A and B are shown apart, each in its own frame.
Chain A
Amino acid sequence: MVEELLFFMEVLVGGLLAGTMYSLVALGFVLIFKASATFNFSQGAMVFFSVLAFVGFMQDFNIPFVLAFILAALLMVVVGLCTERFVLRPLMNASEDTVLMATIGLGYVLEGLAQAAWGVEVRRLDLGIGDFPVPWIADNLKLFISALDITAGLVAAIMIIGLFLLFKYTKIGLGLRAVADDAGAASSIGIPLKHIMLLVWSAAGVVALVAGCMWGARAGVQFALVDLALKALPVLIIGGFSSIPGAIIGGLIIGAVEKVLEVYIGPFFGGAIEGWAPYVLAIFFLLYRPEGLFGEKIIRRV
């Protein structure tokens, strides 16, 4: 009985920690949605693009780790700049769905560019953090938890706290919230829309890079990251599109539920239900609580 409980705990904790990985991707979505009410479908592509550039700088040009990270982050700022100038600004007054479609296009562009520049083979990314159980925890608590998972959890926590403080207590954060609420009114009182957008997209790019590093260290830097990032969508639906804590809780729920279902129910169906379980869970949320756990209530004006 105790062993079963321990095993359940292990599955649960593993799922929760894996969920923080989804949260990291979802965080980028939320940032952009909060500041511009835009669903950025290309967030997954940004994850792939940024981490591939990072690994590419390190492996092809022998640039040291820290410098490569900074270069990749700068690259994401450039991507944000170009996105603002060539995609968002012309679509300023377009409907939500149009912008969404354009970001799908943007995702394609980023995926294509990344592969054209760095090739299509799977690259290994070594962060110096092992993806194996931490001995100390294994010995003392009898739980097998990967060091990488713990790092991802910590990184996610730091980023959330940072972003939360940024949104809540800084002038920039106030500007961001104002723009999200009503871009027209915000710009009419002198909030520089351009800068805000640039800032948000760059921040989302850096978040993508961090998420990409975590994913890349686990699964290798490869195209499949884009599909993995799609799972951030159910995370957002559960957590709410406009809530940073929501992205985290949503990620934790998705991570835990998919692991627990996979281990306890999966075998009856031949396994691999992880592929769709998050989406079905998202549907249930949509039917009963479409705005998610922490999202603002969806109000449609006629």
Chain B
Amino acid sequence: MMKPVFMTYTKKDLINLAVCMVLSVLVIPTFITTEYWYTSILIPWLCLALATIGQQIVMGYTGQLALGAAGFMAAGAFAMFNLILRVPDLGFVGSLIVSGLIAAAFGILFGLPSLKVRGIYLMVATLASQFFIIWMIDKFGWFKNYDSSGIITAQDIVILGKPFTTPLAMYFVCLAVTTVLTLLAMNMARGSTGRNWMAVRDMDIAAESMGVSLLRTKVQAFAISAFYCGVAGALFAFCYLKSLEPVAFDIKLSFKILFMCILGGLGTINGAFIGAAFILLFPVLLNAIGNNVFHGAIDATIISSIEQVIFGGLMIIFMIYEPLGMAKLWENIKQKWKTKIPSSTNLKSSLGKKT
């Protein structure tokens, strides 16, 4: 009988994990004391990275072009709001899990077209989920507890009777959830689940003839992806926005997550973090340049337009020169630094160059 393996890890992983944990649990809280960093950078970074992992699972690992991450995030966020409001016994963690599951249900529903179509056809199908979920939340007052103002304040986070309301405490909540889910994602990606995803991505017909069930694999990928997005959306609303409004989860956010996923590096988990950090920090940097170098001579709208041009340009450049994104660049740099011999194993994804 096969032994169930829950977590597989090597010595290198343990070292990486230890370094990340020390950095995020000890170093960051001791050295960063300004609230701005937590409320505007670290917390959204963790939330969006989590959502990007969701996008990675469906797009980077399973090769299905999906463009509805923000819709699932909205489903998660509003499920969380209603669960805390109506089922207080569930507690924060319980609500978080259940809201993830609710988002996953939507993921399964809107992932079904992936069985029939691929590429841009699927993208259109997933756009339906984006618009439908936002509309549903907007139009049925029940989801918003009949609040007429349109913006609802998120409830305070209370775990085991303790309130988590300071930026640092919320950071730790996000960190804990993100860490657990990231480890899980890495394990899934490494294990048979991930192998199936990648087999479907690389050649679905071959995968099917090898005995990989397309139905199961694709639906599973969509469900897990939506679960991640849902949890990320709940955290995003409760720790970062501290309010809930459907507009916050519009198609622009979906595009942002898509960019994070692609620029970060398709088919990699660390790419999700790199991509999220880049997309989040770059505008901050650009604004800083605008304020300090040009002393506010450039209009804020122009700066945001320039930011858009640069993101778009980078997307094109990466597609031409490195379709596997920044994670691959980082990998190449490490590789060169270590051995001076260029790596010969090239991960081929559905977005890679045709052979």
Contacts and interface: CB of A to CB of B under 8 A. Distances in A.
A93 interface: yes
A105 B262 CA distance: 11
Interface string B311-342: 11111100110010000000000000000000
Contacts of B320: 87, 90-91, 94, 102
Interface residues of A, number: 51
Contacts of A302: 203, 205-206
B323 A98 contact: yes
A233 B128 CA distance: 11
Contact of A115 (B124, B262, B301, B352): B301
A111 B306 CA distance: 10
A109 B113 contact: no
Interface in A209-231: 227, 230
Interface in A245-302: 269-273, 275-276, 279-280, 282-283, 286-287, 290, 300, 302
B139 A91 contact: no
Most B C-beta atoms less than 10 A away, residue of A97, A101, A275:
A97
A279 B113 contact: no
Contacts of A99: 319
Contacts of A94: 319-320, 323, 353-354
Contacts, number: 148
A110 to B, nearest CB: 8
A116 B315 contact: no
Q: Is the interface of B mostly helix, strand, loop or mixed?
A: helix
Contacts of B319: 91, 94, 98-99, 101-102, 105
B153 interface: no
Interface residues of B, number: 49
Given A102-B320, A112-B308, A116-B306, A97 B119 contact: yes
Given A112-B306, A272-B139, A286-B116, A101 B350 contact: no
Interface in A61-93: 86-87, 90-91, 93
A260 B124 CA distance: 22
A279 B308 contact: no
Nearest to B67: A104
B239 to A, nearest CB: 28
Contacts of B65: 97, 100
Contacts of A279: 124-125, 127-128, 131-132
Interface string B259-292: 0001000000000000000000000000000000
Contacts of A286: 113, 116-117, 121, 124-125
B124 A96 contact: no
Contacts of A109: 308-309, 312-313, 316
A121 to B, nearest CB: 9
A86 B131 CA distance: 33
Interface in B105-142: 113, 116-117, 119-121, 123-125, 127-128, 131-132, 134-135, 138-140
Given A106-B316, A290-B117, A97 B351 contact: yes
Interface of B: 65, 113, 116-117, 119-121, 123-125, 127-128, 131-132, 134-135, 138-140, 203, 205-206, 251, 255, 258, 262, 301-302, 304-316, 319-320, 323, 350-354
7 contacts: A39-B120, A91-B320, A94-B320, A108-B309, A112-B308, A115-B301, A280-B132
Q: Which 4 A-B pairs have the closest CB atoms?
A: A105-B315, A108-B312, A112-B308, A279-B128
